[in-house]
Amino acid sequence: MSNGVFVSNGSEHAPKVQYLVVKEDSEGQRIDNFLLSRLKGVPKSWIYRVLRRGEVRVNKGRVKPTRRLALGDRVRIPPIRTASENQAKPGEGLRQLIDDSVLFEDGQLLVVNKPSGVAVHGGSGVSHGVIEVMRDLRPEASYLELAHRLDRDTSGCLMLAKKRSALQQLQKLQLAGKVEKRYLALLIGRWRKGRVTVDVPLQKNTLKSGERVVRVDPKGKAAITHFEVLQRFEDSMLVEARLETGRTHQIRVHAQHQGSPIAGDPKYASDEQNQMLRHLGLNRLFLHAWRLSFPWEGRKGGYRFEAPLPQELQLVLDRLKK
């Protein structure tokens, strides 16, 4: 069993009926959501089909998709081959990279200092992301889910929930705006003001080429970013960006909207702008999620996580100072 998902031992063994006992972190969850969260790689259509046919049983009885589970319920899972059976395991190099990037772990949360270039989850041509690798590294974990997202090229603090109750609490905190997310970014250009708040709506778009981009659009979703200049250089500046909302590419597009895109941004900065800092060794997006903080029920002072600036980004700053 891996993360609550049962798989066969190989092609020589046919899948068999398996059973799961509902633990505290799944108490009160609907049976369809329970199955969806545990049977990774299994189509929704298959799950609802076996529920409809009565092949999924709870305490030996047929159930509807809306049935809520109780502590200690015994769930019957019919024979199935999950996508993970035929999928290669994460490479040892990636496993070691993610394992070495763990900043914090307790019974509720796991925080990783995600490296730039590593996706948070598999898909779109990527076999393994942080979540798949962590599930492979923690086979004993019955529950492990992403609590939020970071762009593939962005490094820094990424949270995973180790309990369903922890994920629910984090989702409520994020909806209430109580999770403070701070980023460090190197912007191309200079602002006279030391603090700038950008409050413009953003809309996702798909170009004719199929590329997905985000644009400022009055019809888009509300988005607010607070920027503070920390250091000024000749043609660039190091800023801290604090998110009030969490839209896709929010900091990147808001910075571009102010006329100062993030250095190394292949999507929202021009080749000429990126070339300015390439000679200093900048070969990635200069955006790093350096701090996460939020209150937590039963924990005095809540949680606060910090990820130091990666060495390759600090080296660029050192060269700019010279």
Residues designated as active site: 151
Residue by residue, what is the 3-state secondary structure of 114-135? Answer: ECCCCCCCCECCECCCHHHHHH
Asked if 58 contacts 69 with a C-beta cutoff of 8 angstroms, the reply is: yes
Residue 108's CB: how many other CB atoms inside 10 A?
18
Which of 74, 135, 82, 144 shows the shortest CA–CA distance to 109?
144
Q: Side chain identity at 170, as an amino acid letter?
A: L
Closest to 309 measured CA to CA, from 113, 177, 125: 113
Output the CA angle 152-246-105, nearest 5 degrees.
65
Phi then psi dihedrals of residue 198, to 5 deg: -105, 120
How far apart CA 291 and CA 302 sit, in angstroms, is: 14
CA–CA distance, 165 with 204 (Å, rounded to integer): 31
